Chains A and B, each alone.
Chain A
Amino acid sequence: MLDTYREVVTPEGVSLHLPAAGPVPRALAWAIDLAIRLAILMLLGSVLALLGAAGQGLYLILLFLVFWAYPILFEALWNGQTPGKKALSLRVVNGNGAPVGWLPAITRNLLRTVDMLPFGYALGLLACLADPHGRRLGDMVAGTLVLHEISERQTRAAPINAVLAPSLVLRPAEQRAVVAFGERAPLLSGARQEELADLAAPLTGARGQAGVLRLFGMANWLLGRR
């Protein structure tokens, strides 16, 4: 299966598959976060304007907090997601796949000041595009990654049919291809199934619908259905 993810070996010896997110979804998530922050500040500003001068001081403190502390708190406490990231199904994790801790969250958000140079996150965008895992400078220094939340793909088992042993010895990659046909072909149209099964005509020895049925049978045999 062709996919872009970063493999990280866990202490148990298996690999985590971490699908890193590129600059575009991250930029959109940032825009949503910015909108939320501006809304909060406008709301607070209008409330605090009623309090006069003391309210103004409080407003500036809250401005600072909302500007700096909002992403840090959300990423550290809410499992690496701010509301903007949650909306786009993104998540911040450590480079080794572990959930992001306080210090990496603080580091990567502090270094936004550098990523924002010279204007509009230009340096961050360049870093994202250059890095194979889509990390900006803050991510590189903090050792974090922003991932897509993988939703489990809909896989269905092949329809139970007759079982047919393949006439030739198949290599592992070829076995996987036949099994994949058996599992994904039910989602395709009949004409497409026949078109694909015709590619395996030397194996099945038949064409058209008969070839499809024989290929299904071979998939079942490879899966071990009896």
Chain B
Amino acid sequence: MRQEQFVARYQREWQAFEHWLETRGDARRALAERNGGELGDEDIPARYRRLCQQLALARRRGYSPVVTARLQALMQRGHHLLYRTPPPRWRRAAEFLLADFPRLVRSEAACMWAAAALFVAPLVSMFVLLQFFPELIHGLMSPQEIAALEKMYDPASGRHELGRESGTDWGMFGYYIMNNISIGLRTFASGLLAGIGTILVLILNGVSIGATFGHLQQIGYGDPLWRFVAGHAPFELTAIVLAGGAGLRLGYNLVAPGRRTRLDALVAGGIKGARLCLGIAFMLLVAAFIEAFWSSTQSIPASIKFSVSGVLWTLVLLWLWRGGRHRRGDADAP
């Protein structure tokens, strides 16, 4: 069939489809108005398939761009409408946090344990070293930083808050959100550098936190320090380890993709890591909230703070260990 006959035969269909796209294409408008055109909404999938068939014919027969470009444009608009993103459901978000996220974490258990080792080992060793060799702190921090640190946790000062120099609760909340979540996401994202970035970030963070804790403990400021840290540590430290684990997974997928191409492995690791980052961002949000509004108060006695901290640690570890196990037939399948 020649091009002109082809166009003459199907012209009306294409015009009807284009009219539908223009009048019913916007979801909000389509909900509000009635469909007055000649094509009903329920006819569109069949019409779209017919349009695709006609496009394939036009290409096969080598028709000119007058026809093929027009059909291609119509087809792409139809495709875009028919394969639209479904709207988010908030119940799904709750299910993700409570069940899917712990299952994701458990499915990457090896990476998570490795990240935990990379974080905790430097932390503990730095802490212990500083008890016996206190002068090591000067190799890690400048005197001004040490002075500022000691000022924040000085038990003898008459200040109201622990662990911060100034700033209201809301002010520090905003600062902690910006700071902590950025660090957590960077820990994950630096896994793209074959995992080396994540390893470095974990070790450096472990060293610096261990140095801070060790120095303050060694000079006798341990009580304010533990009272400050106890509240948000369950969420923040765990989130850093999880972010490190996700980054390690990403780096590992790049270095040793197994039987997939490197790009495929990277994409799979990235998608998994992005889902983990959602949960990690939530954890860091909670940690920032606790850090800003609970950790700094001097008026709450140490026993209450430590017992709350113990409860939170138990909850976090239980959540990661047992969350999502209620599904039948699988223990911790990913």
Contact = CB atoms under 8 A, between A and B. Distances in A.
- The interface size bin for chain A is 35 or more
B266 interface: yes
Interface residues of B, number: 61
Contacts of B80: 99
A61 B168 CA distance: 13
Interface stretch (A28-36, A81-89, A136-144, A189-197): A136-144
A114 interface: yes
B283 interface: no
Given A99-B83, A224-B3, A106 B278 contact: yes
Nearest to A141: B270
- B-side binding surface: helix, strand, loop or mixed? helix
Contact of B52 (A13, A63, A172, A175): A13
A110 interface: yes
A107 B270 contact: yes
Contacts of B66: 155-157, 183
Interface in B103-121: none
Closest 4 pairs (CB-CB, A-B): A224-B2, A60-B174, A141-B270, A57-B170
B171 A53 contact: yes
B162 interface: no
Contact of B174 (A12, A57, A224): A57
Interface string A2-33: 00000000101110110000000000000000
Contact of A155 (B65, B181, B267): B65
B71 to A, nearest CB: 9
Contacts of B186: 113
B84 interface: yes
B170 A100 contact: no
A114 B188 CA distance: 9
Contacts of A199: none
B189 A13 contact: no
19 contacts: A57-B172, A57-B175, A61-B174, A61-B177, A97-B83, A98-B85, A102-B85, A103-B271, A106-B278, A107-B270, A110-B188, A110-B277, A113-B182, A113-B186, A152-B73, A155-B70, A176-B64, A223-B3, A224-B6
